[in-house]
């Protein structure tokens, strides 16, 4: 993986992203999705690194519909960065990529 930074999706993705960024020696970016912006995406915390000009790994806890990670990917690109990989603990979908970005999970859960 060739990433410069790790993006943690608030709230549950942040602890895992912090652990991964520390282990990889990469800077941490915090992304806060926003339901209030009516599909306009979220915001990056100014207290942490910016995705501008960087290749980033996006980290969250669970993918149910993929909408949150897709919004994060869009916002990373709109901020001048490039999402190279999305990683979650649990993937509840059949998707192996979201918005053209590879998606990897520790567990894939499917209904039967």
DSSP letters, 34-94, are: -STTSSS--EE-TTS---TT-EEEEEEEEESSSHHHHHHHHHHHHTT-EEEEEEEEEE-SS
Q: How far apart are CA 24 and CA 72, in angstroms?
A: 21
Q: Is the pLDDT of residue 37 over 60?
A: no
% of the chain beyond a pLDDT of 90 = 88
pTM: 0.92
pLDDT band at 111 (very low <50, low <70, confident <90, very high): confident
Which pLDDT does position 39 carry in this prediction? 57
Q: What is the pLDDT of residue 40?
A: 63
pLDDT-based confidence at 1, cuts 50/70/90? low
Q: Please choose, from the candidates 84, 82, 10, the residue with its C-alpha nearest in 3D space to the C-alpha of residue 47.
A: 10
Instruction: Kindly report the CATH number that applies to the domain delimited by 5-108.
Output: 3.40.50.2020
Residue 51 is predicted with a pLDDT of 98
Q: Is the pLDDT of residue 73 over 70?
A: yes
Instruction: Supply the pLDDT for residue 110.
Output: 80
Q: Please, what's the largest Cα pairwise distance for the chain?
A: 43
Report whether 21 contacts 28 (CB < 8 A): yes
User: Which of these, 3, 1, 100, lies nearest to 55 by C-alpha position?
Assistant: 3
Place of tokens 């649990």: 90
């Amino acid at each position: 993986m060739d990433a410069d930074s790790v993006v943690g999706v608030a709230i549950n993705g942040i602890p895992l992203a912090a652990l991964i960024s520390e282990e990889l020696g990469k800077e941490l970016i915090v992304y806060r999705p926003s339901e209030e912006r009516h599909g306009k995406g979220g915001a990056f915390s100014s207290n942490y690194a910016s995705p501008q000009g960087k290749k980033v790994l996006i980290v969250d806890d669970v993918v149910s519909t993929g909408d949150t990670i897709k919004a994060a990917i869009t916002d990373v690109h709109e901020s001048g960065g490039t999402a190279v990989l999305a990683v979650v603990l649990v993937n509840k979908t059949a998707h192996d990529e979201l918005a053209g970005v590879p998606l990897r999970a520790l567990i894939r859960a499917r209904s039967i």
